[in-house]
Amino acid sequence: MPEPIEQTNEATRLPAELQKAHDGFLRYMALERERSEHTLRAYGSDIGNLYAYAIPRGATTLAGLDLTLLRAWLMALQESGLARATLARRSATIRSFLTWAVREELIATNPAIRLKSPKREQRLPHILQNNQIERIFKPVPEPQGTPEGKAPEPTREQLALADRDKLILELLYATAIRVGELVSLDINDVDLDRRTLRVIGKGNKERTVPFGQPAMNAVDNWLRRARPALRTDDSGHALLLGRRGKRLDARQARQVVSDALAALGDTAARGPHSLRHSAATHLLDRGADLRAVQEILGHSSLATTQLYTHVSVERLKESYQRAHPRA
C-alpha cells in the first residue's frame, strides 16, 4: 500500500531549485504557449501535489523526481480514490513539465516519458431532450402573492438579473461556447446585424460563432433594458455583469445553469457543459456537418468533436430499442 500524500502547506518554503522550475514552467506556458489562467492554476496545483509527495521523501531537486518516485506518486494518487481523468491530467502535466526542464537543460532526461497513466474514461455526456430545452426557456410564472395580499413587485435589479440569467442560458445553448468564453465576452464582440459572436477560445484562438433569433432577442433586451440597471463605473465593456456591476465571473454563470437544470427535475445534466454537449449533439442530429460543428465548438482536433457522433448513435440505438417491433 503506497504512503498517503501529504497536504500541500503553502507556508512551507520550497527548495530553491524546485521553486524556480515551477515558476519558470508556468511563465513559459503563460507567455509562449498562451495558456489560460484556469489552465495555469491546474498546472501549478498538479506540480505542487507532486512536490508535496516528493519533498518529504528526500527529493529536493529536479533530478530527484525519478521514475520510481513518479510511479509511487501516481500509485498513491490512485489509491486515494482520484478519478482516472484527474490521474491522467496530473501525469500529463508532469510529462510536460519535465519535458520543458530537459529543454531548459535543468535535467538530462525526462523520466516521465516512461510513466504510464490510466486512460481517461470515455463517458458519454448527459444530453438534454428537446422538451427539456423548451422548458428551460419557458418564462418564469409571475408570483401569485399570498392570502394576505399581492406579491411585491420585483425591483429593477431583480428584473435585470432575471434577464441576464435568461441570456446566459440562451447564449450557452445557441452558440455552444464554454462558460469561460461566455464571461470573457465584451459588448463589441456581439454583432447583432450578423447574429454572431467573436469568441477567444483556448490557446487564445479566435473564432466566429453564429446564434439564432431567440438569443438575439435576449441580447438586445439585455443591452437596451437590463444591463443599464446593473452598470457601474467598474463595468467597463463587459457584456455580462454581476449584481455589483462588475464583469460576471464563471462561478456565478455556472450556478445559474446548475439551478436551471436542477429545476427541471428529470435530468442528471448539470453545469454549462451540459448545454454545450446538448447543442453539439442536436446540431449533428439535425444533419450539421461535423467540421462545421468542430469550428463552432473551437476543437483543435476533429476526433474530439466525433465524440458527439457517438452520442447521436447511442441515442439512435435507444430510440430503436424502444420503438421497433422486432428490436
Domains along the chain? Answer: 16-114 (1.10.150.130), 130-139+154-323 (1.10.443.10)
Q: Are 247 and 159 in contact (CB under 8 A)?
A: no
Q: Using one digit for the tens of pLDDT, what is the confidence trace for 275-284?
A: 998 998 888 8
Say if CB 275 and CB 281 are below 8 A apart.
no
pLDDT digits (tens, 9 = 90+) for 157-173: 999 999 999 999 999 99
Q: Which of 35, 89, 276, 277 is catalytic?
A: 276
DSSP 80: T
| Candidate list 273, 282, 317, 320, residue with the active-site label | 273
Task: Determine whether 237 is an active site residue.
Answer: no
273 is catalytic: yes
Tell me the average pLDDT across 209-229.
95
Tell me phi and psi for residue 134, to 5 degrees.
-60, -40
Residue 282 appears among annotated catalytic residues: no
Model confidence at 106, in pLDDT bands (50, 70, 90)?
very high
Of the candidates 143, 162, 152, the residue with the CA atom closest to the CA atom of residue 229: 162
Average pLDDT, the chain: 85
The question of whether 43 is a catalytic residue gets the answer no
CA distances from 175 to 33, 165, 210, 275 (A): 26, 16, 6, 9
pLDDT of 23-58, one tens digit each?
Answer: 999 999 999 888 888 889 999 999 999 999 999 999
Contact 164, 240 (CB under 8 A): yes
Grid cell at residue 120: 481517461
202 assigned to active site: yes
At 102 the pLDDT is: 95
* C-alpha span between 49 and 103 (Å, rounded): 23
221 has a pLDDT exceeding 90: yes
Known active-site residue 246: no
Average pLDDT over residues 293-315: 77
pTM: 0.64
Q: Which of 202, 231, 246, 247 is catalytic?
A: 202
